[in-house]
C-alpha cells in the first residue's frame, strides 16, 4: 500500500458505529474495520480510503438475521445489493482532487 496510489474501499456495517445487544463480537470486528480505515487515511495520504456503511441489504445474511430475530424476510424492504455496488462505484469514479471518506446507505 505504501508504494501505491489508488483507492481502498471498506464495506463496513452500522454495527461499526454502534453496538446492539447480542452482536458484541460482530460489532467489535466492524469497529476494528473503521479504525483500520481511519488509520490508513491518516498514515497513507496518497490513498483514497472510503468506508461504506450499508444498512439492511437484501442478502442471504440479512435473511438469516431476520430469521434469528423471529421476523420475516421481505427483500423489497431492503436495499438491493446492486444499489450498494453503485454507491461504491460512484465513490471510486469521483475526480482525483477529492474523495469520499464515509458513506451511509439506508433503505427507505
Per the domain annotation, does 31 fall within a domain? yes
Residue range of the domain that includes 21: 6-105
Summarize pLDDT for 28-72 with one digit per residue, the tens: 999 999 999 999 999 999 999 999 999 899 999 999 989 988 999
Q: Give residue 6's region: left, alpha or beta (phi > 0; psi -120 to 50).
A: left
Per the domain annotation, does 1 fall within a domain? no
Give the three cell numbers for residue 70.
423471529
Model pTM? 0.87
Spatial contact of 100 and 91, defined as CB atoms under 8 Å apart: yes
Give the three cell numbers for residue 82.
446492486
pLDDT of residue 20: 87
Per the domain annotation, does 26 fall within a domain? yes
Per the domain annotation, does 18 fall within a domain? yes
Domain count, the chain: 1
Spatial contact of 61 and 13, defined as CB atoms under 8 Å apart: no
CATH label of the domain that carries residue 25: 3.40.50.720
Per the domain annotation, does 55 fall within a domain? yes
Strands 6-11 and 47-54, bridge-based pairing = parallel
Per the domain annotation, does 63 fall within a domain? yes
Amino acid at each position: 500500500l505504501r508504494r501505491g496510489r489508488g483507492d481502498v474501499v471498506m464495506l463496513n456495517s452500522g454495527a461499526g458505529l454502534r453496538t446492539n445487544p447480542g452482536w458484541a463480537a460482530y460489532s467489535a470486528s466492524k469497529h476494528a474495520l473503521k479504525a483500520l480505515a481511519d488509520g490508513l487515511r491518516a498514515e497513507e495520504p496518497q490513498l483514497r480510503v472510503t468506508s461504506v456503511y450499508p444498512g439492511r441489504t437484501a442478502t442471504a445474511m440479512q435473511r438469516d438475521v431476520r430469521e434469528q430475530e423471529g421476523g420475516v424476510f421481505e427483500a423489497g424492504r431492503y436495499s438491493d445489493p446492486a444499489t450498494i455496488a453503485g454507491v461504491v462505484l460512484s465513490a471510486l469514479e469521483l475526480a482525483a482532487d477529492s474523495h469520499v471518506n464515509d458513506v451511509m446507505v439506508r433503505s427507505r
